Amino acid sequence: MELIEIIKTIVIGIVEGITEWLPISSTGHMILVDEWMQLNVSDAFKEMFLVVIQLGAIMAVVVLFFNKLNPLSPKKNIEEKKATMRIWYKVIIGVLPAAIIGLLLDDWLNDIFYNYITVASMLVLYGVLFIIIESKNKNKESKINSFTELSYMTAFLIGLFQVLSLIPGTSRSGATILGAIILGTSRYIAAEFSFFLSIPVMFGASFLKIYKFGFEFTSSEIITLLIGMVTAFIVSIVTIKFLINYIKKHDFKVFGWYRIVLGIVVIIYFLITL
């Protein structure tokens, strides 16, 4: 494996580790990265790689929140273990809508919507929505400030918002965080629940892509996957910690403005190059 390919893989892992957790659309960034710096791999492998690399990112959530999400922790009493299981029940309920629709329409949605016009439009649209909703909610008290206060119905409704992320450019974290805030959760709970929803979603999406690709990899492909996932894991650790600390004092408007600018950049770039 050539050094330049290793560098490209590391860069992609860095982009994935940052954009997967911030509500700014990993797809939008990956499209630009792929335009400017293409891996020397088959189209089938690249399609699979850009999804499976998320396994590295998701392991960061598992590591950072292991105690909070572990119902068998010896450090927890019976009530705390039951509370942890209730979080998982809410995660499962929240995942169902996207899991069902994703399995049924995954290929169709990619064929129809995976293009720069859709991605750029979604970047701008949700950027505007973040700014509007955060402005509307300024100085407004959140109704849901803990997972105990998060009802199963609210978890399901947040899951419906997650369905929107099946359209490229929306951002899974962006859709779920925005939906959770609309439904009255605090930014902190919105972000954490978005992280937790990502665990089954990303594992499911990754294994589905591997299954479709097949289980025969060259040594170079295995190295590419490992480098990408390890890089995404390390960068995700830093990004998640940053976001959790950031939202304690700030809102999501800055991400809204960033999305708008990125959407415009995507449109201009493709208008010039096509």
Rounded distance between C-alpha atoms, residue 244 and residue 65, angstroms? 12
Angle at 143 between CA 202 and CA 92, to 5 degrees: 25
The answer to whether 154 touches 182, Cβ cutoff 8 Å, is: no
Query: What pLDDT was estimated at residue 209?
Result: 82
Buried b / exposed e along 112-150 (16+ C-beta atoms within 10 A): ebeebebbbbbbbebbebbbebbeebeeeebebeebeeb
The answer to whether 1 touches 228, Cβ cutoff 8 Å, is: no
Average pLDDT by stretches of 10, the chain with 274 residues: 89 94 87 83 86 90 94 92 96 93 79 85 94 88 93 96 90 92 94 94 84 85 93 96 91 94 91 84
Q: How far is residue 60 CA from its own chain's centroid?
A: 12
Name the β-bridge partners of 144. Answer: 185
| DSSP notation for 141-207 | PPSB-STTT--HHHHHHHHHHHHGGGSTTS-HHHHHHHHHHHTTB-HHHHHHHHHHHHHHHHHHHHH
The answer to whether 138 touches 50, Cβ cutoff 8 Å, is: no
Rounded distance between C-alpha atoms, residue 155 and residue 90, angstroms? 6
pTM: 0.89
